[in-house]
Structure 1
Amino acid sequence: MFAKPFRVKSNTAIKGSDRRKLRADVSAAFPALSADHVSSLVPNKEELNVVKVYTHKGDAVTVYVLHRNPLFFEAEKQIYPTVYTLWQFPDLLPAFATWPPVVQKLAGGADLMLPGVVVPPQGLPEVKQGDCCAITVVRNRAPVAVGTATMSTAEMRGVGMKGRGISVLHTYMDTLWAFGDKSGPPSISAPDSEELATEEQSEEGEEASSGADGDLTTDTCCPDLQELSLNPGEPEQEEDRGHEDDGTEEEEEQEDKSPQEQMDALLLHCFLHALKCKVKKSELPLLTSTFLRNHMFSCCPNGKQLDIKKSSYKKLSKFLQSMQKQHHLVEIKELNKGVESIVDVDWKHPELRSFCPPEDSVSEEAPTEGSGDRDRPYHPPEISALYVVSARLEPLFQDSQKRKGAVLLPGEVRTVVTEYVKKNELVDEQNKNYVNINPTLCDCLLEKSEYQEVDRLKWDDLFSRTMARMQQCYQLLFPGQEPIIKKGHIEPIDISVASRGSNKKVTLIKNLELYGIDPPAVATALQHRVQASTVLTPLPGSKDRVLVQIQGNQVQQVGSLLLDQYQLPRRYIQGLDKGQKPGKKK
């Protein structure tokens, strides 16, 4: 939850009534705390601040801060302690132990996998699914992470300690911890029996898994494992003990370079990657701006951001001139006044032929379904209109065993009405395009003013009146998931352009979540495409939706992303006509 920086919405001193409510909530959530302990955490007179923040995924979280350190955070009406609180009360939550190298992975956003859990001789703590849990490291009871159990202890044993065990919310070394005084965990010794067990397990080479970021295995866990430092400033100690997964020779070389040299190297990497894997000969001549936006940005490795201004070149034109004059990789010409294009590429150049693109390189052109399934490609949902049987129409649907509240597809509604008409022999003998109205149809479909005037209806009118008197809803069907049914009409994705200070334009996008699209993923993709800043803000009047804002009139780019990459039907996108017209600058 706090693996990436969050945005602070407000920071205010807590009111007296809120202080009392917080004290009651803490006592109810953590009954192990005595009244004196609760009073020390939520004192009467000392200044206690309430900080409302939005995480990078758009979640609204309330943080309670005392003496500069966050003590509790509240998300979805559930209160959790921070590591600062757990260092004062290490036995407040049931704790699961793991190996020190795993902590770095947890701080990066990974969950704790069951193969990485060290089982003490007394067994695992008894928890239920959804219970708040702490995570510690072997030989030290000071918690380093807080999360919720994905299954009960019995289920953990039943699956053979495989799979995801703890869904991590907050860790030592994440941005919430950095919001405090950044102190390190204290050293709280474990019981002798637990130390003996971890010694035996370390000699056997216990495996530690870190989940989403890949498995991390300690091939030879040495007896000095308890001496591994958790301080972020001392990574060498882990490397000296053979944990090569956390650092490579390339990373060490990168650290020796200045930030400008690192950006130059990244720029060259993305340039070669784009030429070798993205650009086709048929695309030439290719605008340099298009080459940067659509190809180079998509070749930037995960976790890094391409910024030409931080390189020694400062401008794209200077970089490309260097690639032309010094490396002889491309030929640049100004085909139109002030507009440069790549007109030729030396595909047989040794530097280009010898370049090996990374196997795990992921383009921003591969959108994903959500934060939990980053590796699964996005597929648009199948959207179906549905109709709910109302109390007024219940007599019409009784023969088909459809009662009030039954949900039907349009075709099913037509079938039920047709069967009713035929069963009751209501088809007009003179003109089979008409249906005679009996008392049931009169009560269900006619207005009071029509009772004496209308004695028959056309088939189409019969169907349309029936559906008009039913409550409408819609069904979303994502591949491999259970159908989702919601009331009303589905709102289209809304794209609009607004003016900010000095008549600057911004593009606003909302309702992405309704179609299973992750707003942060769209913001990142657009940021790469147009090289403009994006902001995620909660949508006013909605608890679970986020508004994506990007600088400039980017309607065409947003439309291209949603239509081409996310493959959404045009009818579900509103505002595509607000794009900047060719030849006009707004």
Structure 2
Amino acid sequence: MFARQFRVKSNTAIKGSDRRKLKADISAAFPSLTADELSELVPNKEELNVVKIYAHKGDSVTLYVLHKNPLFFEVEKRLYPTVYVLWRCPALLPAFRTWPPVLQKLIGGADLMLPGVVVPSSGLPDVKPGDCCSVTLVNNRAPVAVGTAAVSSGEMHSLGMKGRGVCVLHAYMDHLWAFGDKSGPPSLPEAEGEGQEVNGEDYEVDDTEEEEVEKCEEEEEEEEQTPGEKVTGQACSGVEELSLAEQEEERGNEEEEANQDDLKEIMDALLLQCFLHALKKKVKKSELPLLTSTFLRNHMFSCCPSGKQLDIKKSSYKKLSKFLQAMQKQHNLVRVKELNKGVESIVEVDWKNRELRCFNVPAETGDEASPVQDGGEAEPPYHPPEITTLYSVSSRLEPLFLDAKKRKGTILQPAEVRHIVTEYVKDNELVDENNKKALARMQECYEVVFPGHAPVRKKGHIEPIDISVASRGSNKKVTLIKNLDVYGLDPAAVATALQRRVQASSNLQPIPGSKDKVLVQIQGNQIHQAGNLLIDHYQIPRKYIQGLDKAPKGGKKK
């Protein structure tokens, strides 16, 4: 089921009532678990996540994850333990033993076939069809796979130990295992003096392992194939040769995964380099606390060597918050804290850290000044982004632009639109050759270019910086400033600069319904002063600032 990559639909923390229900369901499904073992697997005070996924065949599966390790997975309202649970409680399920070479086939999605089952002297475990069971390897009791019994123990003997034994759902080293911390199975030796047989015959591991694997392959090849069913000879859980096409596909998948792993390692290294560079040369103690999003945008990106592109999504961390957590826990370089709800900031940097002190700044970008400063008026001038209004070809106007080979969705400069319309009018001898109404019928877009960064194009109108006045308790006025981040401005820095100008207290507030976005709140009606700061100091064009008309006359406070 997890031999191929699955798709995550949602990942949420479990509720208290659901946690209690999960405990009851686990206890009912696995009554051999003691109360202590159950409390250890599902602790009351530690975060437990519920992850909804879709397997590659479209099956809907629910995972229960603790400390990044999936503990149980639920398919069609039935719970199954993962290998991470079975390594803690190896006797939780009845186990069938097999040979180490079989494990590779289990990982590939094959089932465990009866010719490959190693029968102990005590006999096979007592199971019924559909019972949950595990698979272990010879000389180690640590389970390596989880599945359901295909037939009962009695039927296994009556069938002469031929056919399918365990329908495998999850195995060590498959994608469900890789969703966790990727730890390996512990070494759990078998009880001393426990004899074992191979389908009724005495067996010694060192002398007969290879011989028995070959034997189970030959026996399985003799089985009849069900018409219309693709049987790839799952002898010994499929220890047969794959077809040439399947081998090529498997090799291609392995190479692709290896390339992805290499790219992640390269991006992780670049991420760490930019992080250390930014801390050593860009960040000042006076800037702390510093919004993590601002730290990435204004400091880390500027430390990226030319010719390379920093992309956290292509790293193993995927998110900036996870990377900073790793820097905090593993390296003790920074301390990150949530000063406002949903908004994280770097509140402390250990500049004496050995790793940071030993870091050598690359010569290519060593002492360049950061393109964005902290907003203090004594700092170098802020360089505003270049904003250009563009137009996208709409479906209604697409026929007009086909001669110029511009299809629906193509983004054009206003001058390009006028030229194409003019040529169209001339070629078709239309009356008004200077008709500019095409612009009104096109979808407006915009392009933002920050110094040192690639242009960013988006559809729609660019959000203006919004300045408004609101009333708080006792009819006190406060000024609110939104959308500063759209223009590359650090809200914390703008708040500090404005506070110096008007000598009034300011703070940051999360914007309802927006993730990681904040607004600046400052006491009094400060629209006039805020407008002057944005226009004169930050050089933001007046047309991109909304609410200036609400300023009190003469710039006086109310």
Q: TM-score range by the shorter chain?
A: 0.3 to 0.5
Instruction: From the CA coordinates, give the structure whose radius of gyration is larger.
Output: 2
Q: TM-score, normalised by structure 2?
A: 0.39
